[in-house]
Amino acid sequence: MLSSAQAPRLLRSPAAATTTAAALTIKCLHTSPILTPAATSPSPSQILTTRKSLLSRQTSAVDLAKSFLQRLRRHEPQLSSFLYVSPDDVVLKQAEELDTKIKNNEEVGPLAGVLVGVKDNICTYDMPSTAGSRILENYRPPFDATAVRKLRDSGAIVVGKTNLDEFGMGSTTEGSAYQVTANPWDLSRVPGGSSGGSAAAVSARQCMVALGSDTGGSVRQPASFCGVVGLKPTYGRVSRYGLVAYASSLDVIGCFGSSVADAGILLHSISGFDNFDATSSKQEVPDYASQFVALEYLESKPLKGLRVGVIHETLENGVDSEVISSVRGAVSHLEELGCTVSEVSLPSFSLGLPAYYILASSESSSNLSRYDGVRFGNQVFGEELNSLYGDSRAEGLGSEVKMRILMGTYALSAGYYDAYYKRAQQVRTIIRNSFKDALEKNDILISPAAPSVAYKIGEKKNDPLAMYAGDIMTVNVNLAGLPALVLPCGFDGGSAGLPVGFQMIGAAFDEEKLLKIGHIFEQTLPGYSFVPPLVADEWTG
């Protein structure tokens, strides 16, 4: 484990040489002490490695797809990452079509041959999209979400739909109406949530990358628990068209990868303005891959001059000591890379959690009113309209969803609107302004991604307040609409050896800077392999 007393060193590894031609134009002298390649394992980009192998004919898309499908099906009974897996013949047919294009020297997309898992609250026209709820059981949308359409247009193959807490309301996947996903690092523990299925699938190498959704941390917390990279983009960077709505002013589609490069390339493929989503931004989408500089081209202090603010309130009581130690180790590593680190106080930080749950519940009360068995959702017969509505919702919706709908309806009611919803919106403005001020003085802000490592399945299921408290590190970022990147930085000291992730927060639409910093951090982190023991013996990627 990294600690403030054990300063990391810069490394060199041939595996880190995968990069773009644009990035190779940067040539600087590397002068820091070097460990042998065997002592380090920076995560290569599966996407770039796959593309290189396919175009050079070193492997075929069919062989690649078969290997992932075999691993997926071998471990799925233990993990339950997927609610639906595309039939092998469908996946292999798409792979064969890609091989034919390559054979004929036809142009292929940037995600050619990349197997992607898609969270089951993101619409896919050829697969069920249940949002983890019985009320949408067997529902097949007649269209793809914009993000999914862009993936397919880029050559990606959607391998299946991943498990989640019902409608994204939960932090463990225990809220799914269908199954509970296990953490690949320890099958007795949760993978986080609500995008736990996507995080577990990427961690166990059941797919290369995956899409999730993040309303209050649903990409970042499971990324930390499962030892993968999780990227929450700025609100509006990615179209929400086709994302089953939970809280519309907070929801974003995010990315999972086993490396920063993969998360960044995936984000680039799905970003951009969409006429079907009025909240999507027309802000230009940079070429994130141009920021991914190979290790041997880095200066000894590649992040010199970068200002990093560590959020004081996130390293206080209530956060496990092992998490604090790992995050401080990550901060020490950033200092070694040339960053100037200071402590930042955000007094409004603790206000984010109650404000978030009032706002998210209020918006869910409105959004989920459409699932009544008439407009949307499976219908339960009733002799009159009210009983049809009531019975359809009673049988189709889970207890957590019902509770949040009731909380939101109460907060929006005539007698309590000013006391709860209006005040929560005022707190949101305070939080947004506090982040704005802090980011004017710092390039990025740092915090843990979660107060603890993954906990046992069932440990917090009957204590919703304790589970809600686990979102304290992430909800403020959604309230402010900012981008954040979570990547693994070490392990806890327990016998399970569970991964710890830390969170980097940037200014609006500054994902490019986060990815650049994260890529350098990841390549130079000493000696860690974030491949879970479940697949370590069979994974050669």
User: Residues with catalytic annotation?
Assistant: 119, 194, 218
The pair of three-digit structure tokens given for residue 430, joined into one six-digit string: 């305070």
Q: Where are the beta strands (DSSP E) in 434-530?
A: 444-448, 484-491, 499-505
Q: Is the dihedral of CA 149, 151, 157, 161 positive or negative?
A: negative
Tokens of 345: 């106080």
Q: Give the residue from 527, 516, 534 showing the smallest Cα distance to 491.
A: 527
CA distance 409 to 403: 10
Q: Where are the beta strands (DSSP E) in 11-52?
A: none
Cα gap 199→240, rounded to integer Å: 20
Q: Among 173, 218, 149, 175, which residue's Cα sits nearest to residue 79?
A: 173
Q: Is 385 exposed, middle or buried (0-12, 13-18, 19+ CB in 10 A)?
A: exposed
3-class SS at 117?
A: strand
Sequence-distant (≥ 6) Cβ neighbours of residue 126 within 8 angstroms: 86, 90, 140
Tell me how far the alpha carbon of residue 393 is from its chain's centroid.
30
Among residues 79, 27, 535, the alpha carbon closest in space to that of 294 is found at: 27
Backbone angles phi, psi at 82, to 5 degrees: -110, 140
Q: Return the residue matching tokens 């820091």.
A: 32
Q: What is the rounded distance in angstroms from the CA atom of residue 54 to the CA atom of residue 386?
A: 58
Q: Are 487 and 503 in contact (CB under 8 A)?
A: no
**End-to-end alpha carbon distance in the chain:** 24
Q: Give the Å distances, CA to CA, from 260 to 42, 194, 369, 491, 520.
A: 10, 21, 38, 18, 9
Residue labelled with tokens 């193959």: 157
Instruction: Say whether 387 sits in a helix, a strand or coil.
Output: helix
Q: How far apart are CA 279 and CA 338, in angstroms?
A: 37
Give the separation between CA 260 and CA 489, rounded to whole angstroms: 13
Phi, psi (degrees; rounded to nearest 5) at 164:
-160, 160
Category of 242 on φ-ψ map: left (φ > 0), alpha (ψ -120 to 50) or beta: left
Query: Pairing state of beta strands 115-119 and 82-85?
Result: unpaired
142 sits in the region (left: phi over 0; alpha: psi -120 to 50; else beta) called alpha
| CA 145 distance to own-chain centroid | 17
C-beta atoms surrounding 335 within 10 Å: 17
